[in-house]
Structure 1
Amino acid sequence: MVLPFVRELLADVEKSQAFRRTVSHLKSRAGRRGVSGLTNPAKALHLPLLSSSSGAPLIVIVESNRAAEEMLPALQSMAELTGAVSPKGILKLPAHDVLPFENLSPHPEIQEERASVLWKIATGAASIVLLPLEAASMRLNSADYYADLARIVRRGETIDIDPLLEHLRTVGYNSADAVDMPGEFALRGGILDVYPPEADRPLRIEFFGDEVETIRKFDPGTQRSAAPVDEVILLPLTETPVNERVLGVIHSRLSGRRLSGSESEVEQAIAATGVTVFPGWEFYAPVAGSGQHLFDLLPNSAVVVDEPSAVFAKQEEWWNKVNERHDRSGVGSLVRPEEIYFPPDQWRERLSSTPGIEVERLGISDSATGDGAANEEFTFHSRPTTRFHGSIPAMIDEVKRLTGEGRRVLFAAPNMGEVERLADVFAEYSLPFRFGSRTPSPGSESYLDETSFFAGEMSTTTIVKAMLPEGMEITDANLVLFGARDLFDDSDLVVSQPLRQKSKVSAFLSDFRDLVVGDYVVHVEHGISQYQGLKELAQGDTTGEFMLLEFAEAAKLYVPLTRLDLIQKYQDAFDYNETDDQVSAIADIKQDMESTMPMDRLLCGDVGYGKTEVAMRAAFKAVQDNRQVAVLAPTTVLAFQHFETFKRRFAAFPITIEMISRFRTTKQQKEIVEKVEQGKIDILIGTHRILSQDIKFPDLGLLVVDEEQRFGVRHKERLKQLKKEVDVLTMSATPIPRTLHMSLVGLRDMSVIETPPKDRMAIQTVVAPFDEKLIRTAIEHELEREGQVYFVHNRVESIFEIASKIQALVPRARVIVGHGQMSEGELEKVMLSFMQHKADVLVATTIIENGLDIPLCNTILINRADRHGLSELYQLRGRVGRSNRRAYSYLLIPAEQELTPIARRRLAALKEFSDLGAGFKIAALDLELRGAGNLLGGEQSGQIEAIGFEMYTTLLERTVRELKGEDLPERVSTQLNLALNLRLPNEYI
């Protein structure tokens, strides 16, 4: 909750002359004018106020989807702080992630977001619509059409269920046996379970006849009902419902036929063709009669063009690409780009007659509309704030300077934890402040009240909870707002950044001016303690200043400032915040390692979910206990990547790490083997070269097996022979059926990491015939966003031919080839080149399957996907989508060849399980497809046919409990005979 004085504080920006003139212009609806002098954060502050003061909804057009995504959180936060408009009324309408004429459908998440936003616009729920110019150029349907995409179900009203179910299927919902994912519904008798896309939980609608009796949220895990609600909005998942008439018109246009006659005759002709959907059909919907402009959906709105020079330059570039795709497609005059989008000249002509403003930070350099509309400019005065890069003293000095000059200072922190962190810092430095927001949590509220009381309520420095990445100084309002990035270089703000290189001392901090009370420090002789501030103590006739450290059990130590060489700041070296599942897995592993029994734990987590970080922490614990660690990887490439990751992660610590694989010469391998035997190597990373008889670990404490499905039972038994008391940690996104089954029945412990990293997006999976146009389009699309591409071709004899074909299709791409038969030096050079972005496309065999982590690589094409196993396909797909960018996986199959039933089911499963965290489901399906095999033998596929799988599992579980000495529950068989003949008649069923 934002306190009233904050809104009064921010309302002062409305008093400037430029603001009043801009509002007057928007109210008059008299053409277009230019606005200058607003930084990006200042735009986020002023736009909600302009919309509120002028009474007009705003359509804000930006350069790209990325620009819209960056502006949205700041706009919503500023709307909440100012109270000008509701944050829920600020919407982002994204452009499609692919272009028409590419035989590709837009990403489902984008279709879902567009459909939801268009419905809200059509129903009057929009105050500010933020969108890139591509989205603003799309030909749309009428407001009535989009208003009909959703259904509102209210308790007590009468609804015909069958038309409701048909509508749900039409707008993108899938029927399921049990609802646990957004976009699913299930009908059982008079109960309809449905999971709308924006709901926090699925809903259970109970009918009595046709009347809605109750609506309740329910837990998808337990399927138990919870809180009741009065109504539910069933939002659409697509803006282009599957409509037979629309599909018929599209098919007829693309086939060169024009349908004519009465409406019934046209419908009969369409029905006779048996039309179906196809990849990319959504783009052709406008040819069925859609011609509305976005401006028509908000007739009383004002249009704001942000940085018009960049927007219109982007428009020309985009339009050229659309025409290029059209020329390549062979569609010709059957469907022209002008029938899908408004071309730039028409769009700008419409813009020139629409009231609004062009906002440019440095001033309008050129008229956006070409008619002299921007001849009068409204000039604001804003500028960026100072960045402190985590330096608390510099921040305190700047705040004191600003408040001394009579400025009002406001700090925006993204969450209540950061609010409290700032409060503690200000209190430590005796800087007066007040809180501008309250939280519903009673505990936090009392803490904030208490802290604010002691700090002094009349301060001109305010702390509020708001997502404002960067700050601004509004000179007209005598106001300074600091954002999160101004204060701390927080890695949480940008998740996709690679790990930074660290020097050997970068884990520690030598500048003690940054220490605040409560920070942890390391005393060279006594270990970790907590800094409790500086104290003056008498030393004979003089007094000296000492650093007070508090250790365990309240033990205190005073360290003279002359001996600061004994103190180092203690801070973590992990660049990101752990997920809850990671924390739980780490705790389980530490507990296992400290028990008397050897650990045998399976760590099952989706690709890119942070299994390696968990393994590194286990390795660190083992090394700290003076034990050696062996890390077994299935390929030389993965071993090399692990080697680089471990070295970077442990750079600040005295840990010796080595790698043994064919990337090492015979002489180097011999030296490594000798050092291992002498105990001079703490962590050894390698392929199954580690299994050789000549490698002897004197004190092996932990074995980490990565991607265990690539190793046989004999390999792992050999490793256990190295040391009988060795802890084993097995990692996999898709464990082999036997391993998964052993974990499920309790023969092995298992930790599952299901929480995705922040901002991680699902991978869009496309199954398509091998087509050169599709390949070229997919690669060019990735290169246009400065990304990289994997192309998997698992035949060494023809891999260079495929690489030459890709080079011919996309001449500007830098194509390199990597496969397992290359020499060590060549393969290492290829992998390093790709990891350092010296190449755009890596054509490789399945040697890239495991572990490669390249955030810029977000498109993978897998040739002859029908020849790969389910887990192998899943692992390959997991090489992309390892950042906050949208990722694409293309499974290419021969156009003329019939797939086997198993291959078809594998590809269908992979396309179905595209949601985040699907690795466990893939492994479970693999268990179903292949069977569990012999649990203690070498067979990894087959069926337990003698007594059946379920009976075998039951008997095994009972036997294990007996061997453990556990009490078995007594099985009681009870029959109740009421002598009543109660049955449902066949006629009723």
Structure 2
Amino acid sequence: MNPNQEKISLETLVSKISERKQILECTGLEESAKAYLIVKLFLKCKCPIFLLTPSQKYAERLLEDLKFFAGNDEISLLYFPPYNILPFKFLSYHNETAARRICTLYNLIENDAPSIVVTTVEAMLQRIIPRKEISNFAELIMVNEEFERDDLVEKMVFGGYEQTAIVEEPGDFSIRGGIMDVFSPMYPDPLRIELFGDMVDSIRSFSAASQRKIKNLKEAIILPARETVLIKERIPLIISRIRQRASELDIPVSEVRKIISRIKNEGVFPGVESLIPLIYSALDTLFDYLPESTVFFQTEPEEIEKAAVELQTRTAGNFAHALSENRLCVEPESLYLKFEELNRILLKKTPVTLKMLPLISKEKDDTQRPRQYAFSTSDNSAVGLQLKTQAEKENLFLPLAQWVSHNKQSGLNTLIVSRSKPQAGRLISLLAPYNIKPEKIDDFSDIAKNKGLEFICQGRISSGFVWPDESLAVITENEIFDIKHRRRLKKKQSAHAKLLSFEDLKKEDLIVHVEHGIGRYEGLTKLTINGSTNDFLLIMYKDSDKLYLPVDRMNMVQKYMGVDGIEPVLDKMGGKSWARVKDSVKRTAEKIAGELLKIYAARKVETGFAFEAIDRSLNDFEAGFSYEETQDQLDAIDDVISDMQKKTPMDRLICGDVGYGKTEVALRASFMSVFNGKQVAMLVPTTVLAQQHFETFSLRFEKYPVNVECLSRFRSQKEQRAILKDLKEGKIDIIIGTHRLISKDVRFKDLGLLVLDEEQRFGVKHKEKLKKIRHNVDVLALTATPIPRTLHMSLMGIRDISVIST
């Protein structure tokens, strides 16, 4: 410990903060321990807390840690993100970024309850919309109250909203008859406002993906979509300021006219934020939104200063470039505070500095020199290293069990943080043989006050720590399994949702109508029928025939997926060509179905090998998976394991997009096969894919006595002969290869599982050879795009299918 530092407890820090006599510097805090400290202080002080961080990555990681330690306690967590787009390029930041900023600012204005606010130095330096402008714009809409729709629409356009066909992002709105959809930054989902004349009949939130109702609301608040709110009456003054600034910079008159025209006609346009000093007479900073009682924290001040200097350098460079291209721009100082100014304001707030390591202060003035305090926390690197070393031996989790036991003897509560409930269950079963039985809890706030207990819960934090003074030891699943990366789960829209949004449909694209066949999409058009105006898809057919399809019947069309080298021909509305095509497809399908039924009926009565359950070993293997399984993925794995335990040979199709985890299903099936003494063959269509799978399988099985090999043209003839010899003798457990695997000279000692990756990409001859191999072994096929025949067989129940769509 630095001789100038004192040890401090949380209770003492609370009293020091309340005195606000001197700047405090707290060191020795591991990453997530900072979030734990902030939450504990917030619950004790019940005052607003502001956290300044060096970067967006740091801020978002800290925010996730704060959410975890907040648990069920009602704590308002607000995040004010940076633009992430430097000015002077006439580009706008993303709608979701704009929405989050506006929502945070509005909450700071209106909410009396204290909050924890997290931001970055870049966002803190930005001069922003005056707080009175957000308050003045906010529009309260209530059920059974009168509502001037046209006035609100005009207001929204000048507040940054954009009228769209379908509302999908914050800042979108649409109007269809007496229904108005709007995505206000105040809410996580868009709103549907139904009118009866001038009266609000109902307000409900709905899903942007599926367009389906979520819940009813009694009232709604419409906030501006951007931080540049134009007031109609002020536009002449704004234009005058623009002309004056253009004159100072000697900007060509034609460029000035373009900007003025866009303000008059479009209202808020992309990049107008760069001209925000010309829109408002004075700007605020985030300091102006924060209550007087706010306690200020800054993390790693040296990194904050470095980020601020870099921002100022880049902004100055952009400004100089804009001037050289005769673009209208304002001085950087009118858009950003200087770091020295920010620091001066911050020092007056007597902030608390949080950092890992102490540094000698350069301040000569005692009033500016921080009072240094040290906390005694440590990371989990030691137990992590022991676990990594133990991985090559038996009793993989012995170091973890010893670590938990040591914590118990020291009177510390131990918390294991798992990324998912299934993974938490696996960890409990893996620790059971060591007589470690952690109690499952819902979140951090459920930890008992008793000391020396073990808990496990689902959640996400950046890292664990040991804090003896708080009687707490936290370790994450990532630290246990040495996982360095994390995949964010992709949410996939349903096929129906894709059709509804038509996000990939452009004018003149070919589409197929279920009754009329192939036509050309000519865009959306409005038609008034019996006094009611609605949106219609205009589809052009042969001989200029037109079909107007109501948007609520979009399920009748889909985008045309053509065949390479064949030029599509538009169908004639009411003609016979489309009917003939459908009849021909039906007859062909019936013929193929008959042939396939014979093949698969014979396979169903064939007796195969029933694999035995290996639950504990499989749990061990599953725990090494570095990502969080989706529910679809877990269902697919359960389907495969269940199939393999039956006497009837498995024949299952796993269908899912690239990156959705099909390979992990194959890995677990392979593990089960190998540990039942059976060999695995994985057949892939390309050499590159074979090499990729070989590397993946080798990495996952490196801790086990499993021999994985690859048979492709990347191997020499000598190596291939050696591999074939070992394969025949049973020395190779898993073989991965291209069509070389189905050559006549390939012999297995005891093949139990055949994995086919993208089966539809193999030729007819290859598939004939596969039929001879697969008659009595378990077959697992992986595909992102099943051919119609394979899909039809699965849907008819001839072939089993598992779909991974999330």
Report TM bin, short chain. 0.5 to 0.7
- Aligned to 2:368, the other structure's residue is in SS state helix
Q: Aligned-residue CA RMSD in angstroms? A: 5.5
Give the deviation of 1:144 after TM superposition.
Answer: 2.7
- Aligned to 1:39, the other structure's residue is in SS state coil
Contact 2:191 2:206 in 1 (8 A): yes
Contact 1:435 1:462 in 2 (8 A): no
Partner of 1:44: 35
What is the TM-score normalised by the length of structure 2? Answer: 0.63
Which residue, out of 126, 145, 163, partners 1:138?
126
CA distance in 2, matches of 1:115, 1:103: 20
Contact 1:156 1:211 in 2 (8 A): yes
Alignment of 1:106-145 (within 5 A): 106-107=93-94, 109-124=96-111, 127-145=115-133
- Structure 2 letter corresponding to 1:587: D
Give the deviation of 1:642 after TM superposition.
Answer: 0.6
Give the deviation of 1:114 after TM superposition.
Answer: 2.8
Alignment of 1:426-437 (within 5 A): none
5+ residue gaps, structure 2: 1-7, 385-398, 489-611
Partner of 2:333: 338
CA distance in 2, matches of 1:572, 1:597: 25
Change (3 A) 1:309 1:590: closer
Change (3 A) 1:259 1:243: farther
- Structure 1 letter corresponding to 2:369: N
Contact 1:119 1:149 in 2 (8 A): no
Partner of 1:34: 24
Which residue, out of 148, 160, 185, partners 1:160?
148
Which residue, out of 745, 755, 762, partners 1:704?
755
Alignment of 1:559-638 (within 5 A): 572=622, 574-576=624-626, 577-590=628-641, 601-623=652-674, 629-638=680-689
Contact 1:385 1:472 in 2 (8 A): yes
Corresponding residue pairs, total: 642
Partner of 1:962: none
CA distance in 2, matches of 1:173, 1:624: 59
- Kindly provide the CA deviation profile for residues 520-560 of structure 1, in whole angstroms up to 9, marking residues without a partner as x: xxxxxx99698xxxxxxxxxxxxxxxxxxxxxxxxxxxxxx
Does residue 348 of structure 1 match 2:330? Answer: no
Change (3 A) 1:73 1:373: farther
CA distance in 1, matches of 2:94, 2:238: 20
Contact 1:140 1:286 in 2 (8 A): no
- Structure 2 letter corresponding to 1:33: I
Alignment of 1:701-780 (within 5 A): 702-707=753-758, 716=767, 719-720=770-771, 723-724=774-775, 729-733=780-784, 750-755=801-806
Change (3 A) 1:462 1:236: farther
Contact 2:68 2:443 in 1 (8 A): no
Give the deviation of 1:242 after TM superposition.
Answer: 9.4
CA distance in 1, matches of 2:760, 2:242: 46
Partner of 1:64: 55
Give the deviation of 1:87 after TM superposition.
Answer: 1.7
Which residue, out of 636, 639, 643, partners 2:690?
639
Give the deviation of 1:715 after TM superposition.
Answer: 5.2
CA distance in 2, matches of 1:573, 1:527: 17
Identity %: 32
CA distance in 2, matches of 1:714, 1:25: 81
- Kindly provide the CA deviation profile for residues 300-324 of structure 1, in whole angstroms up to 9, marking residues without a partner as x: 2453322322321332233333334
Give the deviation of 1:574 after TM superposition.
Answer: 2.9
- Structure 2 letter corresponding to 1:114: R
Give the deviation of 1:198 after TM superposition.
Answer: 8.0
Partner of 1:93: 80
Give the deviation of 1:33 after TM superposition.
Answer: 1.9
Partner of 1:391: 400
Give the deviation of 1:643 after TM superposition.
Answer: 0.5
Give the deviation of 1:659 after TM superposition.
Answer: 1.6
CA distance in 2, matches of 1:607, 1:666: 33
Partner of 2:555: none
Contact 2:670 2:680 in 1 (8 A): yes
Partner of 1:770: none
Partner of 1:298: 290
- Aligned to 1:669, the other structure's residue is in SS state helix
- Aligned to 1:375, the other structure's residue is in SS state coil
- Kindly provide the CA deviation profile for residues 138-174 of structure 1, in whole angstroms up to 9, marking residues without a partner as x: 1211113344676554444333344556667765677
Contact 1:249 1:288 in 2 (8 A): no
Partner of 2:534: none
Does residue 322 of structure 1 match 2:315? Answer: yes
CA distance in 1, matches of 2:637, 2:613: 23
Contact 1:23 1:53 in 2 (8 A): no
Give the deviation of 1:613 after TM superposition.
Answer: 0.5
- Kindly provide the CA deviation profile for residues 797-840 of structure 1, in whole angstroms up to 9, marking residues without a partner as x: xxxxxxxxxxxxxxxxxxxxxxxxxxxxxxxxxxxxxxxxxxxx
Contact 1:287 1:340 in 2 (8 A): no
CA distance in 2, matches of 1:37, 1:657: 48
Contact 2:29 2:375 in 1 (8 A): no
CA distance in 1, matches of 2:321, 2:160: 31
Change (3 A) 1:44 1:253: farther
Which residue, out of 406, 410, 426, partners 1:401?
410
- Aligned to 1:608, the other structure's residue is in SS state coil
Give the deviation of 1:431 after TM superposition.
Answer: 11
Give the deviation of 1:199 after TM superposition.
Answer: 5.8
CA distance in 2, matches of 1:426, 1:750: 34
CA distance in 1, matches of 2:259, 2:379: 66
CA distance in 1, matches of 2:796, 2:734: 32
Contact 1:607 1:733 in 2 (8 A): yes
Change (3 A) 1:252 1:494: farther
- Kindly provide the CA deviation profile for residues 83-118 of structure 1, in whole angstroms up to 9, marking residues without a partner as x: 7xx422x22222344444567654554444333323
CA distance in 2, matches of 1:745, 1:604: 15
Contact 1:622 1:628 in 2 (8 A): yes
- Structure 2 letter corresponding to 1:664: R
- Structure 1 letter corresponding to 2:342: W
CA distance in 1, matches of 2:130, 2:109: 8
CA distance in 2, matches of 1:687, 1:603: 19
- Kindly provide the CA deviation profile for residues 906-932 of structure 1, in whole angstroms up to 9, marking residues without a partner as x: xxxxxxxxxxxxxxxxxxxxxxxxxxx
What is the TM-score normalised by the length of structure 1? Answer: 0.53
- Structure 2 letter corresponding to 1:687: T
Give the deviation of 1:645 after TM superposition.
Answer: 0.8
- Kindly provide the CA deviation profile for residues 849-877 of structure 1, in whole angstroms up to 9, marking residues without a partner as x: xxxxxxxxxxxxxxxxxxxxxxxxxxxxx
Higher relative contact order (CA 8 A, sep 6+): 2
CA distance in 2, matches of 1:426, 1:78: 24
Change (3 A) 1:736 1:147: farther
Give the deviation of 1:24 after TM superposition.
Answer: 1.3
- Aligned to 2:699, the other structure's residue is in SS state helix
- Aligned to 2:297, the other structure's residue is in SS state strand
CA distance in 2, matches of 1:736, 1:241: 52
Give the deviation of 1:254 after TM superposition.
Answer: 11
Give the deviation of 1:384 after TM superposition.
Answer: 3.3
Does residue 307 of structure 1 match 2:300? Answer: yes
Partner of 2:19: 24
- Aligned to 2:20, the other structure's residue is in SS state helix
CA distance in 1, matches of 2:437, 2:629: 34
Partner of 1:208: 196
- Aligned to 1:613, the other structure's residue is in SS state helix
CA distance in 2, matches of 1:713, 1:284: 64
CA distance in 1, matches of 2:89, 2:713: 43
- Kindly provide the CA deviation profile for residues 230-263 of structure 1, in whole angstroms up to 9, marking residues without a partner as x: 3445677654579996998999899889899xxx
Which residue, out of 443, 466, 472, partners 1:481?
472
